[in-house]
Structure 1
Amino acid sequence: MSQRQSKSEAAGNRESERRRTILRAAIDVFARKGYHGCRIADVAREAGVAYGLVYHYFKNKDELLETVVETGWSGFVSRMRAVAEDEGNSLEQKVRGIADVAFEAYRVDPRAVKVLILEVARSPAGTQVVSRQQAFLDTIRMAADMFARAQGTGELRADLDPMLCASLLFGAIELGLTAFVSGLMEDRGPEALERAKLQIAESFLRGVLPGAAPSAEAAWKQEKVSSGTRPKAGKRS
């Protein structure tokens, strides 16, 4: 390696490190002050860099938040995808594994998860659509594919819609995490996180595993019989 290449690599490493430092500082400030209370000057002070250096990497606060979200979700989704696509595990193990990934992320970095869940919702609509919403939809589609495969092997009830199952699972996980990041949960320690993770996975699995509950179709027919109305085949009144 030439001296010029060595210097170029060193400069590139410094650039990457500065950028990571600014992003880490942004997470801390967004989590502490909220999106609207955060200023670029606050991020620069937190990162220990000059005010103008932040603008060297990010054109404004929206782009800074956008990058925080993209970076956070990419790691989040890749870990969940690894769980969902591991065909050595049963559906039950995959569901529990996905819940574990989500709550472990909060345990390791609660401020980052708070930004991903709460502060993005308070940011301008454009930021929400481009970053978090698209990533969230991609995650749901990934889980829907997992449920469709499980339905093909008989692990998922045949009467359920895989996309709806995926939406319900991630809706429960997101609301569970919201209870922690918003302060609704007074106990936010490791044991409380473990209980929440297990309760969400268990409650979900009770409804989707074969034999876990009457099918939606059977329940509907039973309701019609109980009310004295005879259901018509292939049509719901």
Structure 2
Amino acid sequence: MTKRADQKEKRRQAILKAGLSLFIRKGYEGTKISDIAEMAGMSVGLLYHYFDSIETLHEELVTLALSGRTGQYFPEYDNSLDYFRKSTNHLFEMIKADSFVAELFVLVNKAERNESLPNEIKEKLKLNDVITTSITLIEEGQRDGSIRKGNSVALAMAYWLSVQAYIEMLALNPDVPYPETDWFVDILKA
């Protein structure tokens, strides 16, 4: 990579990081392009050389976040509880390695509640709905006795919303201690 190409990539990454930080703290509607430019340490005009709009930047971040969520998160597992244990453990390991992952996770969760996003992004979000994917696994675990009885939708929501809330705390407060995966798995365990 040439020095110029390297500099362009560093600027692009600075814009992505600044945009992500602001989107998760101020929301999509509350973030201005000038805020992102200021945080990235550049002029608004220079930022527009990289992204033609705040919408384009937001869409790229959501797409980037979703690319890591495909397959939620381990395609192979021994049983239902093993899926939840491995998925959650993998998530927290990725976050420990790079806090950017926690912020991407928060961005996706905020985007799932944003009705003003383009339909293309809404469709991508629907394909990566971890709660819906988990319902079948919970029902499977209830049949084999490894997962507690109860409404499978409510159990899936209790599980993933607990994980989501903890990841959001880590994204906004990096000094928060990391949890043990089994604390979350115990929500489901029979």
Conservation of the 8 A alpha-carbon contact between 1:36 and 1:123: no
Q: Pick the structure with greater CA Rg.
A: 1
* Structure 1 counterpart of 2:26, from 33, 57, 60: 33
Alignment of 1:169-188 (within 5 A): 171-180=157-166, 181=168
Determine the structure 2 residue equivalent to 1:48: 41
Aligned-partner residue type, residue 134 of structure 1? K
Determine the structure 2 residue equivalent to 1:60: 53
**How many Å apart are 1:23 and its aligned residue?**
0.5
Conservation of the 8 A alpha-carbon contact between 1:25 and 1:43: yes
* Structure 1 counterpart of 2:104, from 112, 119, 133: 112
Alignment of 1:155-234 (within 5 A): 157=143, 171-180=157-166, 181=168, 189-191=176-178, 193-194=179-180, 197-206=181-190
SS at match of 1:72: helix
SS at match of 1:24: helix
Cα distance in 2 for residues equivalent to 1:132 and 1:177: 22
TM-score (norm 1): 0.57
Cα distance in 1 for residues equivalent to 2:94 and 2:121: 18
TM-score (norm 2): 0.68
**How many Å apart are 1:35 and its aligned residue?**
2.0
Aligned-partner residue type, residue 165 of structure 2? A
Matched, 1:130 2:123: no
Cα distance in 2 for residues equivalent to 1:101 and 1:25: 25
Cα distance in 1 for residues equivalent to 2:115 and 2:80: 37
**How many Å apart are 1:95 and its aligned residue?**
1.8
**How many Å apart are 1:24 and its aligned residue?**
0.7
**How many Å apart are 1:47 and its aligned residue?**
1.1
Cα distance in 2 for residues equivalent to 1:170 and 1:14: 44
Equivalent residues, number = 179
Aligned-partner residue type, residue 177 of structure 2? P
Q: Which runs of 5+ in 2 are unaligned?
A: 145-150
**For each residue in 1:123-146, what CA deviation from the matched residue of structure 2 results, as whole angstroms up to 9, or x when unmatched?**
45234x4336533534549946x9
Conservation of the 8 A alpha-carbon contact between 1:27 and 1:111: yes
Cα distance in 1 for residues equivalent to 2:125 and 2:12: 22
Does the C-alpha gap of structure 1 residues 182 and 90 become closer, same or farther in structure 2, counting only changes over 3 Å? closer
Cα distance in 2 for residues equivalent to 1:75 and 1:104: 13
**How many Å apart are 1:55 and its aligned residue?**
1.8
Cα distance in 1 for residues equivalent to 2:109 and 2:29: 15
Identity among equivalent positions (%) equals 22
**Of the two structures, which has the highest relative contact order with CA contacts closer than 8 Å and spacing of 6 or more?**
2
Cα distance in 1 for residues equivalent to 2:106 and 2:137: 28
Cα distance in 2 for residues equivalent to 1:123 and 1:142: 18
SS at match of 2:31: coil
**How many Å apart are 1:22 and its aligned residue?**
0.8
SS at match of 1:25: helix
